[in-house]
Structure 1
Amino acid sequence: MYFLWYLLIGLVAGWIANLIMKGSGSGLLINLIVGLVGGLLGGWLVSLFGWVPTGTIGTLIASVIGAVVLLWIVSLFTRHKTVKNS
């Protein structure tokens, strides 16, 4: 049962992070992956500041923080298309 709960939190965290970072709507699977990896990254990052996320809201906040950081790091390495005005 907890596995399904973590998937749901990861999906919501990935979706919220995608909205915060002004993503192009990556889709359900990508949002889930970003949210789950972001949850691991976020848990590690907030523990560096001495905060241990507890409960659903704390876990969601840490996951969103990690997912936003993950999307920011990915954006540093991906090429953005520029539009030329003629």
Structure 2
Amino acid sequence: MGLIWFLLIGLVAGFLAGTIMKGRGFGLLGNILVGIVGAVLGGFVFRILGLHSTGLIGSLVTATVGAILLLFFVGLIRGKR
């Protein structure tokens, strides 16, 4: 059951990040992947900043922030703003 929640949070975080970053989403599977990688990146960034999130909403916020950062850096590498 934990894997299903992890994938759902990844999907929602990837979708939200793609929407916030104005269409830089990558489709269903791509958004899940962006959300999962974003969750790891967001957790790392939050830990460095001394922030802590708990629960479903906290996990979603952490994953979304990480996914936004990931899409931002991918956009910089690709040359898109």
Same fold judged by TM-score > 0.5? yes
Q: Which runs of 4+ in 1 moved over 2 A?
A: none
Q: Give the distance between the partners of 1:25 and 1:3, measured in 2 at CA.
A: 22
SS of the aligned residue for 2:26 comes to coil
Q: Give the distance between the partners of 1:5 and 1:73, measured in 2 at CA.
A: 26
Structure-to-structure mapping, 1:2-81, within 5 angstroms = 2-80=2-80
Moved more, 25-34 or 35-44: 25-34
TM-score (norm 2): 0.92
Q: Aligned residues, how many?
A: 80
Q: Give the distance between the partners of 2:37 and 2:26, measured in 1 at CA.
A: 15
Moved more, 23-32 or 55-64: 23-32
Moved more, 25-34 or 9-18: 25-34
Note the aligned Cα RMSD (angstroms).
1.1
Q: Give the distance between the partners of 2:35 and 2:29, measured in 1 at CA.
A: 10
Q: Identify unmatched segments of 5+ residues in structure 1.
A: 81-86
Q: Identify unmatched segments of 5+ residues in structure 2.
A: none
Q: Give the distance between the partners of 1:13 and 1:54, measured in 2 at CA.
A: 16
TM-score (norm 1): 0.87
Asked if the contact 2:39–2:66 (Cα under 8 Å) also holds between the matched residues in 1, the reply is yes
Greater helix share, 1 or 2?
2
